């Protein structure tokens, strides 16, 4: 396993198993990763952009799904755990970049916060079902950010 992960929202949504196009195999891969989330550092941003996105799709109650459990764990421990690395990322008015930490890019604007956090935290981005990460392989290579594809068969268009 990597030293640190930034986890795209689609991983937690897929682990919850509802409102997702993820296969059962993909859902299981997401569940297995998130059930072990306390074993390695998770990267978040200081300004809570990642947590705000998680909150749109996941429950603060930590149930009924494993994705919800992951979100509750992060929420409860984001300021007190050695396993959560909160980094500073800076939004920019330059819509071709999104964040000062990124060059001009065509990544989906909703994914840029994850990439900026991964750059600063020197973390691996974990993805389940989003094709943007494969499509942006050159950008990731330039930024020296690795992507962990939990469901490669589902993350292509």
Domain that holds residue 14: 5-154
Burial letters for 86-111: b for 16+ Cβ neighbours within 10 Å, e otherwise?
A: bbebebeeeeebbbebbeebebbeeb
Instruction: Judge whether 123 and 99 are in contact, CB under 8 Å.
Output: no
- In the predicted model, is pLDDT for residue 80 greater than 70? yes
Res. 3 pLDDT band, cuts 50 70 90: confident
CA pair distance 73, 63, nearest whole angstrom: 11
What global pTM score does this model have?
A: 0.93
Mean pLDDT of 33-58: 95
φ, ψ for residue 55 (rounded to 5)? -60, -25
**Residue 1: pLDDT band with limits 50, 70, 90:** very low
State the total domains in the chain: 1
| CB contact at 8 A, 107 and 115 | yes
pLDDT of residue 20: 82
Which domain CATH number covers 55?
Answer: 3.40.50
């Amino acid at each position: 396993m990597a030293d640190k992960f930034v986890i795209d929202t689609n991983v937690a949504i897929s682990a919850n198993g509802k409102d997702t196009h993820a296969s059962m195999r993909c859902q299981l891969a997401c569940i297995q990763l998130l059930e072990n989330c306390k074993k390695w550092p998770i990267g978040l941003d200081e300004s809570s952009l990642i947590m705000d996105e998680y909150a749109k799709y996941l429950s603060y109650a930590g149930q009924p799904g494993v994705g919800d459990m992951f979100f509750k764990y992060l929420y409860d421990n984001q300021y007190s755990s050695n396993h959560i690395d909160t980094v500073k990322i800076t939004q920019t008015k330059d819509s071709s970049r999104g964040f000062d930490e990124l060059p001009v890019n065509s990544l989906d604007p909703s994914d840029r916060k994850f990439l900026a956090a991964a750059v600063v935290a020197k973390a691996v981005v974990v993805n389940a079902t989003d094709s943007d990460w494969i499509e942006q392989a050159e950008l990731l290579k330039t930024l020296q950010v690795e992507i962990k594809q939990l469901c490669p068969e589902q993350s292509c268009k």
